[in-house]
Chains A and B, each alone.
Chain A
């Protein structure tokens, strides 16, 4: 890179930080902790759903249970693939929302079926159906909560991605720390922007962007 390119690069980078600050003014700051909180809540709801589904195994018909369990296992699989806010994150959340809706439909169909047949059964069978319905209603509530949390999470992730477009996570951290009462010294800003920091006199690189090299004979 020649000097002018580097200069332009630096200028663009600083402009981006300025834009992010301007955009953030008056809007809600996205804190990674909020995302973690929501993930924690989803985990709790999944545990509750776990319990309800295992209870349904003993009282409902096998076809319904199997369909329910397959969808639920799918949700858990996608949830376990979530580690950090990256491009896969939103994909997984989308898939979870889709399956939750399927699960909701499945429950609704079963509930309708029970409601339609409520005059047919009496005695022990009627009690059993009541129990199943109660569990399904519970499960539906959990599914609604899960869906709500997942939608919030998707929005947060989208906002976060949008806000930080082109800016390194270190800078986003700095901006967030300012919002929450932290402070920044000039040398910290220099280290974050340049990607080089000094630890007891030894330099460390924070940036690991690797760009392809064009060998002279490959140049057009």
Chain B
């Protein structure tokens, strides 16, 4: 039986071959090529030969499987033809059609030019994830096993910890990167660690297992009842995404830790954390139940959460602000962290809670650059000073150029350990990810916003057509745009387009499917006529309307949760998003990422990194960058370093700064530190109702300022 890794590799081989036909030249990875031949096709027999020559077993079956899953598309000349030996890969087909989008058949395309590049990278696959700590396994398994035993210095506890990992990973395991890094972290004498590895490399599992080990050690070995772990995420969506994994891990861990009479608890402390018990109703942040994985968790009695489907109770998740202070693991964001640090209340996470921290994890650490980085760096320093014992710091990111310099500055620790995803790791991995990158330069005479509307029509129709063909999880797309007004214009323009019957002209049976203007080939032969009729009658409006959604800060929490749920379920969506979906969140079925404009390379890498995850996408993503006809964007394509770095998805041409020496930042840090000291004395700091906030009279303000002055 062929594995999903093999199938993905066969698909990548086909795309590479196809790319050389589209470019009309041999292709080298990480270099840009023009689309020279947009009316191409691949012959099925040639593909079989190609796969056979590359050593794949049973190419016939592979091609059929790829056709069945919609990754290879038949491109017949006439719409009546149901069978054709002419094929194209889904990703290259979308690329070519995207490059030629126009308002009317025969008119010049919106894009003046289009170039593309291929980039293959090694990422861990199911096959790579097989390492389980054990005495008798291979060197990775036994090394990790030994590291765990020496970390706990208690055989029973080490065995319990290993059981938790095994149970969490179920039939899977750790890959080389994960096991090596976890082993090194457990053995390391250093207190600052940075995991720098591409998206999908499994950094989250590493720090989750590490924090679990630390917490177990605090509670059972060191008998430290109050030491806690802090998780800092820059975005709420990311916090919620990671909370699912943490709840899943703690559910298992608490089961195994029962004999030790401890229960590890978890809380999210941000602006959405409940103030009153009366508010505890409905779903809990849209997080799915880790037990049945079927339904979202809901609030049950006393603010506790449970699954409405399997009735599993999650008593260890603390949901009220008054309980968060007692949680062993607290997930928060930098701004909530700063406020908590200056709070003297006893009914919430406060300065004393933060004076008992054993480990802080900062996910997506590249986000803490510039002034924000300066503030985080100062908060770290303050927390370090508040904590008398050693404080461990873990940073995680996919995109930090010169990580040593950046992490040293952020953490204030020059002796930090960087765990790179280096060549020695890559060459031992079976899994492979293919990234197809493309940049389109807009014709200044046309509207780039209209182009985005038409691209949304293409992607929404593609998803609709795939669903009609019986493909359960049709490909999904994310269109990133930083400007909310323009995002809304794209959406309203899209609605207007489909109201006018789009993509009716693209379904004309006069067109050959090799014409980039044609979209009917996405449908099965028997449904083409019917869909054409429906489109002409305007009956497709509702089907297409629901597929394009907005994602930005103006949506309510419920709307955002609902959208993320639909995206996760693979409903064939085209999401128009601001930076909300940019970071670290896993959406399995995203195959196409479109970015309006050229942002900084770190952001572009993160955005393209949202696609091509797991088998549902054949580990392939097409990332399109739209270069608008404005000088700041047009001129960047002549910046050789930038464009070269882009083709390699490398942030090396870009520097991340931590503005920790800025006088304003330093003054703010001094102020925060002084207020934190006032809070530690138990005096009112007016950061929350529990610390007598807000200040209501000049007398209180005067007393507060005088208290701060004493601490400076």
Contacts and interface: CB of A to CB of B under 8 A. Distances in A.
Interface residues of B, number: 42
Contact of B698 (A21, A198, A207): A21
A10 B670 contact: yes
Interface string A185-199: 111011001111010
8 contacts: A10-B671, A178-B701, A179-B698, A187-B338, A190-B342, A190-B671, A190-B675, A203-B371
B708 A194 contact: no
B667 A6 contact: yes
A80 interface: no
A186 B675 contact: yes
A18 B705 contact: yes
A173 B333 CA distance: 29
A69 B693 CA distance: 58
A124 interface: no
Contacts of A185: 686-687, 693-695
Contacts of A184: 686, 694-695, 701
Contact of B333 (A175, A178, A186, A201): A201
Interface stretch (B113-121, B497-505, B658-666): B658-666
A187 B375 CA distance: 14
A178 B338 CA distance: 24
Contact of A186 (B342, B371, B375, B706): B342
Nearest to A1: B663
A187 B679 CA distance: 13
B695 A178 contact: yes
A186 B693 contact: yes
A195 B553 contact: no
B698 A175 contact: yes
Contacts of A96: none
Nearest first, the 7 closest Cβ-Cβ pairs linking A and B are A194-B668, A183-B694, A186-B687, A203-B371, A184-B695, A186-B686, A185-B694
Contacts of B338: 187, 190
Main SS class of interface, A: helix
Question: Which interface residue of A22, A187, A198 has the most chain B CB atoms within 10 A?
Answer: A187
B667 A178 contact: no
Interface residues of A, number: 36
Contact of B372 (A6, A183, A203): A203
Given A14-B705, A185-B686, A187-B339, A193 B695 contact: no
A77 interface: no
A11 B706 CA distance: 10
Contacts of A195: 664
A202 B693 CA distance: 25
A187 B338 CA distance: 9
A49 B676 CA distance: 60
Contacts of B334: 201
A177 to B, nearest CB: 10
Given A186-B342, A200-B553, A22 B702 contact: yes
B234 interface: yes
A185 to B, nearest CB: 5
A219 interface: no
A201 B667 CA distance: 19
A155 B125 CA distance: 77
A129 to B, nearest CB: 59
A159 interface: no
A207 B371 CA distance: 14
B335 A25 contact: no
B685 interface: yes
Contacts of B696: 178, 183
Contacts of A193: 667, 671
Contact of B668 (A9, A190, A201): A190
Contact of A24 (B339, B370, B698, B704): B698
A17 interface: yes
Contacts of B672: 190
Interface string B320-337: 000000000000011100
A205 interface: yes
A15 B704 CA distance: 12
Contacts of A122: none
A183 B687 CA distance: 12
B702 A21 contact: yes
Interface string B365-408: 00000111001000000000000000000000000000000000
B544 to A, nearest CB: 31
A7 interface: yes
A3 interface: yes
B695 A183 contact: yes
A77 B692 CA distance: 51
B693 A18 contact: no
Interface in A83-100: none
B712 A14 contact: yes
A11 B697 CA distance: 21
Contact of A196 (B665, B687, B705, B706): B665
B709 interface: yes
B215 to A, nearest CB: 28
A203 B373 CA distance: 10
A189 B705 CA distance: 10
B363 to A, nearest CB: 14
A11 B712 contact: yes
A163 to B, nearest CB: 13
B342 A21 contact: no
A9 B698 contact: no
B332 to A, nearest CB: 13
A216 B649 CA distance: 40
B609 to A, nearest CB: 20
Interface in A12-31: 14-15, 17-18, 21-22, 24-25
A6 B671 CA distance: 11
A182 to B, nearest CB: 8
B410 to A, nearest CB: 15
